[in-house]
A and B are shown apart, each in its own frame.
Chain A
Amino acid sequence: MSLDNKYIDDSILIRFLTGDLDSENRQRVIAWLNESDDNRKRFDSVEAVWVETGKLNPQPIAVDTNRAWSRMSDKIQMQSEIEQIKRRGRSLYDTRKVRTIWGSVAAVLVVVIGFIGIITSQMFPETIMYSNKGNGVISDTIPDGSVITLNSGAVIQYAESDDNERIVKLRGEACFDVVKAREIPFIVDTDAGGVRVLGTKFIVRSVNENRMRVDVERGKVEVYALSSNRMDTITSILTAGESAVVNGSVIKQVKQLPDAFFWVNKRLVFSRTDLREVFRIVANRYGVDVDIKDESIYNLKLTASFRADSAEEIVAIVAETFDLRYYVDSDVIIVELSD
């Protein structure tokens, strides 16, 4: 074997084939090829692969089949859950439902986001899937006019069944502003249970297969979960300003947090809340520091609601309410007693 041969390895032969070789090295390869039959055969074996892969038509593209399958598998899972809810929903609600003739309205299509939406709606007029993969909050109006706002990471699948039940399958956190319904229940189902409504605004956060949380801003909803024997459902009614947590087969009413709706519309609702807590939430939600100069300020109690663009707007109103003084020093809002 010649000395040159040492330096002609497979990667140089491949560069020769891909055209990633300068002319000097091309000459070296050619000279090396002419040295021996064995060299020639080694090259042939690489070239054969190159030629054979080149014949493919249409050409391959780089896809991740396993990831694609896990996406498909999620969709199948959700689909079968929706089928189940449809069946369950039908038997649960048929007896109570006062039917109106709303009849011949066919399943309405919704355009999801651009391209993908068009394909989806063409092929599946009955099932629409939204997901929020970004960090922000997205909002959309579904065919019945209700507005759904998805927090980061939330996924919903919406099916309008033949008899016009409105069912949304949810993973993650979403806020529902439900159009007062033509006697058709609006159902949000999660792995842990669900919520049934006739027109209201509320948040559902599905945590995992056993836990979810519901916060109601307006109207009245019925929260349901499967009983421990999983044979029937337990329910609890919530009205405006109330919240509940479902944990397994227990529905527990809890105090609604002042910032429950903040991610949806920057709403903060305080009801006899100490300023210590108020400023903690404001600082946390707006990502600022609020520095309280006097301990006595902490125990003042605030009842108010806000939809403010900045922390300073809120601090200004609080300061005025309690006759306090505030100023901004670089990134810190400092609050103190006036004199």
Chain B
Amino acid sequence: MSTSDISGNGDCLFSEQEFEVIFKEHYANLCSYAYSFMQEQEASEEVVQETFFKLWTNRNTLNIDTSVKAYLYRAVRNASLNVIKHIGIREEYKRYNQEDINLNEQQDSDMADMGELEVVVRRAIEMLPEQRKKVFIMSRYQGLKYREIADSLNISVKTVEGQMSKALIFLRKELSEYLPLILIYLLIGQ
């Protein structure tokens, strides 16, 4: 189900089941959004947890003038900036982010209505089993070598390699409808 159309003006109500759907749909992306400000995973997850908790406890009184999704992104951004301001973690990010606040506000709305392909890619990554996801993210986004990933997760390089193959093959399958290049290969490859 799509949640971006759940909006209202003060009488926005959702059941716990609906809340669960909203949570699961947006949690990972909101965490990565918070991470883009704080560069600290635990703090990012905490901010997102608290934002959702606030959404839940105030669900009867909250005045959401756009969509729940846009509200969540805005709330996570504000909470992240607050944390940076109050705790002064990582001075350079604070500076970086202050310079970049306008840009981030832009990004905010971009995130809230990202394109179909991006949604599919993010969802596909999210569907990977935990360890595979971790390996893939470390390689793809943290630029770590297989050896470094193996050491940090306490697994063998062989396992890292296997997880990467499985991850990429899975993603290729998931994205095949959207990427013509892949489709061609799959047709030939049969």
Contacts and interface: CB of A to CB of B under 8 A. Distances in A.
Contacts of A14: 161, 164-165, 168
Given A44-B185, A46-B172, A59 B161 contact: no
Nearest to A47: B181
Contacts of A56: 118, 121-122, 141
B67 interface: no
B12 interface: no
Interface residues of B, number: 68
A18 B36 CA distance: 23
Contacts of A73: 20
B1 interface: no
B161 A61 contact: no
A81 to B, nearest CB: 13
A49 interface: yes
A10 B130 CA distance: 21
A20 B145 contact: yes
A61 B44 contact: yes
A79 interface: yes
A53 B167 CA distance: 12
Contacts of A59: 32, 35-36, 137, 141
B134 to A, nearest CB: 4
Contacts of B33: 58
B168 A49 contact: yes
Interface stretch (A118-126, A281-289, A297-305): A118-126
A45 B182 CA distance: 4
B82 A65 contact: no
B62 interface: no
A116 B162 CA distance: 37
A226 B18 CA distance: 32
B45 to A, nearest CB: 6
Interface in A160-204: none
Interface in B32-58: 32-33, 35-36, 41-50, 52-54, 56-57
Given A10-B168, A58-B35, A69 B146 contact: no
B28 A65 contact: yes
A133 interface: no
A118 B134 contact: no
Interface centre among A15, A45, A79 (most CB of B within 10 A): A45
Contacts of B23: 65, 68-69, 72
A19 B142 CA distance: 13
A58 B112 CA distance: 12
Given A49-B182, A56-B118, A60-B137, A123 B49 contact: no
Interface residues of A, number: 49
Given A46-B172, A65-B126, A76 B56 contact: yes
B32 A60 contact: yes
Contact of A60 (B45, B82, B141): B141
A68 B111 CA distance: 21
B125 A124 contact: no
Nearest to B138: A62
A47 B133 CA distance: 18
A116 to B, nearest CB: 5
Contacts of B43: 115, 119
Contact of B172 (A9, A45, A116, A124): A45
A52 interface: yes
Interface string B106-130: 0100010000011001100110001
Nearest to B56: A76
A191 to B, nearest CB: 19
B186 interface: yes
Interface string A108-147: 0000000110111011100000000000000000000000
Contacts of B125: 53, 60
Contact of A122 (B56, B86, B169, B186): B86
Contacts of B168: 10, 14, 46, 49-50
Given A18-B164, A49-B171, A52-B179, A63 B31 contact: yes
18 contacts: A11-B165, A14-B161, A15-B146, A18-B146, A38-B188, A41-B185, A45-B172, A56-B118, A59-B36, A60-B141, A61-B28, A61-B35, A61-B141, A62-B138, A72-B53, A76-B53, A115-B42, A115-B87
Interface of A: 9-11, 14-15, 18-20, 38, 41-42, 44-50, 52-66, 68-69, 71-73, 75-76, 79, 115-116, 118-120, 122-124
Given A48-B179, A55-B121, A57-B107, 14 more contacts: A15-B164, A38-B188, A41-B184, A41-B185, A56-B118, A56-B141, A57-B36, A58-B107, A65-B126, A72-B23, A115-B42, A119-B83, A124-B50, A124-B54
Query: Which 7 pairs of residues, A with B, have the shortest CB-CB distance?
Result: A45-B185, A58-B36, A59-B141, A48-B181, A62-B134, A11-B165, A45-B182
